Amino acid sequence: MTDYLRRITLKNQGLNQNSLFSAGLTGTQQAIEQLGYVQIDTISVIERAHHHILWNRVPDYQLEHLNTLVAKQQIFEYWFHAAAYLPMRDYRFALPQMHAVRDQEFRYFKNGDTKLMQEIVARMRSDGKLRLRDIDPEHKISKGQWWNSGAGRRSLQQLFMQGEIMICERNGMEKTYDLTENCLPNQINLSIPNLQEYAEYLFETTRRAHGVFTWKQLIHLKTGKKIRDAMQATLNANLDAKNIEVIKLENGQILYVDPELFNEQSTAQPALKLLSPFDNLVIHRERLSHLFDFDYRIECYVPKDKRIFGYFCLPILYKEQIVGLIDCKAHRAQQTLEVVSLHIQNTEIDREQFLLELKNELLNFAKFNACLHVEGL
């Protein structure tokens, strides 16, 4: 049973051998719309997470595709459970949070300088797009660090979170901003969803992206009794309509499954893939543990002397299972991808065949990371 449930979610995630998505730019848009969001992260020991997630799913994925889709007004940046690229069709579901930030209902995103924020908006209206360095001449750019805690950054961040400006381009992690009115397509739906509509959006996003999900996954970081009640009503309505079924695992965990997917007889297995720590498949750790019997913790936030597997260990997906972790580092100046450590935790796999496939995938991964060679394995 669990094997089949894993197969369902891997297919919905676009991680089977036969890609769910077209190649190139079209496939990139399809992937973001299927997944609902792709998390953005700044860590660059290997290629950044948002590119890594898409590269694993979209044939002929190129780094410039995200900027192109933002310029074509097909996707946008905002906050999901973290900074993320989202489908433009879902823009209205970001409006409640934008209004909440504007009304100072959040603990964060309320420390902008009011006068400076007004000046930024006025300058964008007269001069066009701006970067932080255009606003804060004292902003220092250091390697791997596109941030400071000054008034310019805080004001841009608050304007962005309030929905008054949007990110229209990224150069690495440096952001270029423009007025929201210049970034949204014509005729976009700007009606604010009510609580039930928002719960239904979250439910459909989860069901579409995973096919198999838990209650905690549905309400992931969505606190408050009102949203929980709305989500419970949505869940009950879908159960009554038989849009989902309840599956109880041997360990007692309750999963919800799209019955149409459950009845499919797909046997395609995923190729070996090195997953980002922020990949949509692994980001909900409890579900990962129950469905894949794999406990995972990213260790870049853990003190060095307390790390077990390494700074940025990547889960290894192999034959519908996550079989271990590999810590890699791209030395781009030397065009070398270093395998810092490898931890194989599944003892039932054919180790010789696995290592052969791993070496082949590492060559592909090295190329993706602008490297020509692999060292350490």
The answer to whether residue 279 sits within a structural domain is: yes
The answer to whether residue 187 sits within a structural domain is: no
Are 21 and 162 members of one domain? yes
Residue 227 near residue 219, CB atoms below 8 Å: yes
The CATH number assigned to the domain holding 371 equals 3.40.630
Q: pLDDT tens digits, residue range 158-167?
A: 999 999 999 9
Are 138 and 245 members of one domain? no
Strand partners, 256: 213, 246
Are 136 and 255 members of one domain? no
Are 233 and 326 members of one domain? no
What does pTM read for this prediction? 0.93
φ, ψ (nearest 5 deg) of residue 315: -65, 140
The answer to whether residue 267 sits within a structural domain is: no
The mean pLDDT of 91-109, rounded to a whole number, is 90
Sequence letter at residue 318: Y
Bridging pattern class, strands 130-131 and 174-179: antiparallel
**Tell me, what DSSP letter sits at residue 296?**
-
The mean pLDDT of 171-182, rounded to a whole number, is 95
φ, ψ (nearest 5 deg) of residue 224: 110, 140
Domain boundary residue among 242, 262, 282? 262
Strand partners, 209: none
Residue 165 CB contacts under 8 Å (≥ 6 apart), including other chains: 120, 121, 124, 156, 159, 177, 178, 179, 180
CA distance 234 to 228: 10
Residue keyed to tokens 């449930």:
5
The mean pLDDT of 95-119, rounded to a whole number, is 90
Nearest CA-CA partner of 292 in 253, 341, 258, 245: 253
Dihedral sign of CA atoms 183, 189, 192, 198 in order? negative
Residue 147 has pLDDT above 80, yes or no: no
pLDDT score at 290 = 87
CA distance 205 to 193: 15
Are 75 and 155 members of one domain? yes
pLDDT score at 24 = 97
pLDDT score at 142 = 41
pLDDT score at 248 = 87
Residue 188, judged by CB atoms within 10 A of its CB (0-12, 13-18, 19+), counts as: exposed
Residue 128 has pLDDT above 80, yes or no: yes
Are 29 and 170 members of one domain? yes
Residue 228, judged by CB atoms within 10 A of its CB (0-12, 13-18, 19+), counts as: middle
Query: Could you list the residue range(s) of the whole structural domain that residue 315 is in?
Result: 272-375
Structure tokens that stand for 341 in this block: 């450590």
Q: pLDDT tens digits, residue range 184-221?
A: 999 999 999 999 999 999 999 999 999 999 998 998 86
pLDDT score at 363 = 97
Domain boundary residue among 119, 147, 182? 182
The answer to whether residue 363 sits within a structural domain is: yes
CA distance 145 to 28: 27
pLDDT score at 81 = 87
Mean pLDDT of the chain: 91
Are 257 and 346 members of one domain? no
The tally of domains found in the chain comes to 3
Q: In the Cβ-directed half-sphere of 24, how many Cα atoms lie within 13 Å?
A: 3
Q: pLDDT tens digits, residue range 331-371?
A: 999 999 999 999 999 888 999 999 999 999 999 999 999 99
Dihedral sign of CA atoms 214, 220, 222, 225 in order? positive
pLDDT score at 252 = 74
Domain boundary residue among 182, 214, 247? 182
Residue 143 has pLDDT above 70, yes or no: no
Are 229 and 157 members of one domain? no
pLDDT score at 206 = 94
The answer to whether residue 245 sits within a structural domain is: yes
pLDDT score at 354 = 95
The mean pLDDT of 174-185, rounded to a whole number, is 97
Are 153 and 53 members of one domain? yes
The mean pLDDT of 117-126, rounded to a whole number, is 96
Q: Outline where DSSP puts E strands in 180-320.
A: 212-213, 245-248, 254-257, 273-274, 313-318
Are 149 and 287 members of one domain? no
Residue 23 has pLDDT above 50, yes or no: yes
The answer to whether residue 36 sits within a structural domain is: yes
pLDDT score at 302 = 87
The answer to whether residue 344 sits within a structural domain is: yes
Are 294 and 333 members of one domain? yes
pLDDT score at 141 = 44
Describe the chain by its helix, strand, coil percentages, rounded to 5.
40, 20, 40
> CA dist 301 to 50, 144, 289, 294, 304, Å?
19, 16, 20, 20, 9
The answer to whether residue 22 sits within a structural domain is: yes
**Strands across the sheet with 130-131, in order?**
130-131, 174-179, 165-171
Sequence letter at residue 217: Q
Are 23 and 119 members of one domain? yes
Q: pLDDT tens digits, residue range 30-88?
A: 999 999 999 999 999 999 999 999 999 999 999 999 999 999 999 999 999 899 999 99
- Judged by DSSP in three states, 67 sits in helix
Residue 146 has pLDDT above 80, yes or no: no
